[in-house]
Amino acid sequence: MAKREKQPTCVQVEGNSGFGEVNGIALGPDSPDRPAVYMVLRRSRHQFEQRPVTTGVLGQTQSHGRSRGVVDFGAESSMLCDSKGVFTGFQIKYSKKSKQTLPRHLVTAGAVVTMILRHLVSIGLGPRVTSPVTRGPLVEMTRSASSDMSEFRNIFSKARHIAIITGAGVSAESGVPTFRGAAGYWRKWQSQDIATPEAFFRNPSLVWEFYHYRREVMLSKGPNAAHLAIAECEARLRKQGRSVVVITQVIDDLHRQAGSRHVLKIHGSLFETRCVSCGHVAVNQSSPICAALEGKGSPDPDTSDAKIPPEELPRCEKSDCHGLLRPNVTWFGETLDSHVLTKVETVLDTCDLCLVVGTSSIVYPAAMFAPQVASRGVPVAEFNIDTTSETTRFTYHFQGPCGATLPLALARHESEDI
């Protein structure tokens, strides 16, 4: 019996490759550690062609609407983002002394998605859309999201496995600073200036002051109506044999405080520490986390740095270690926890309804989670104070404070028996 060839996975993109309409980027099964990448070109309404991208990442630059040829991105290419996490271009490193920055407006959508897919594959989170590319476009990119709550409630009543992706907007309604945008400063720094491995090893005292401030703020806050609605929904549906899993980008503890049991924290936790020497991870909700930080961490820009000696900062409690502790969160420039991402992928692959709550959908790879679900035909509902760049990809959009819209959406449906 002939061996059946494994179909490549595919996601929908927009753009033109110069060879034809780019209808998708496919990841082939050539090898587990380095899957082949293909451009999927539309030749006619029902005919598609896979054109392999054999070296690096292939993209086409454009200038004033005219093609400037093909750029072969090397293995050391990287995505560039601005202070808000929005994609701005690629940096292509050809050698130690030679590199090129390719701005966003010179890059086709196909190249952008290919680079993102390369990154996702490198961390073990490749898309899992199983529809063969020969069946035509996988998703419609220009549809309008509905705000019909009654229609959403009908779909909600039938869903068995619900994924809820939450972002900083949920915590903001509890009064938690988001450290985003013009108002997102702590003293004279934004989070991306201080939440990095380099900043910590250069000045651990300053970084711990920042996180001590955030911990103290969080300990004074409580879950809001959105957190409580999610937790109540999870508990209620559990009794019916249904599941609710929260995938959150925030590092606070408000989902747990509200009562949610199944929470996947892709960026770590503000109330966990990790030893830089032995790697031991521990829950720590002490206030203050160490005596030297008591009264420190003021966000006032005129505040002088405490300059706490390293030996007085939080230390590992293991008797044979006593190494310096760091917050167990994902900093800028670090990869996400592969074990958590594996669990996230399973949830996204099996859910039959997805909610996106209080997130701007601009920080990768989390920004791809909901579109990944939508690409396989699963209803996605966005709950946000405003529209986002991904709104038109989703089935529903409910605008307004999450604490006002979510309780109504997740309330007991008339068809529920328990």
Query: Active-site residues: which are they?
Result: 267
Compute the distance between CA of residue 117 and CA of residue 109 in angstroms, rounded to an integer. Answer: 12
Compute the distance between CA of residue 112 and CA of residue 122 in angstroms, rounded to an integer. Answer: 16
Main-chain phi, psi angles of 40, to 5 degrees: -105, 110
Contact between 150 and 92 (Cβ < 8 Å):
no
167 is written with which tokens?
A: 């972002």
Contact between 363 and 348 (Cβ < 8 Å):
no
Binding residues for NAD(+), by number, are 167-186, 358-360, 384-386, 402
Other C-beta atoms within 10 Å of 11: how many? Answer: 23
| Cα 27 from chain centre | 20
Compute the distance between CA of residue 327 and CA of residue 211 in angstroms, rounded to an integer. Answer: 8
Binding residues for substrate, by number, are 211, 214
Burial class (CB in 10 A: 0-12, 13-18, 19+), 202: exposed
Compute the distance between CA of residue 368 and CA of residue 127 in angstroms, rounded to an integer. Answer: 9
418 is written with which tokens?
A: 């328990």
Binding residues, by number, are 167-186, 211, 214, 275, 278, 316, 321, 358-360, 384-386, 402
Which residues share a beta bridge with 89?
Answer: 80, 103
The CA-to-CA distance between both ends of the chain, in Å, stands at: 50
Pairing of strands 243-248, 21-27: unpaired
| Cα 352 from chain centre | 19
Binding residues for Zn(2+), by number, are 275, 278, 316, 321
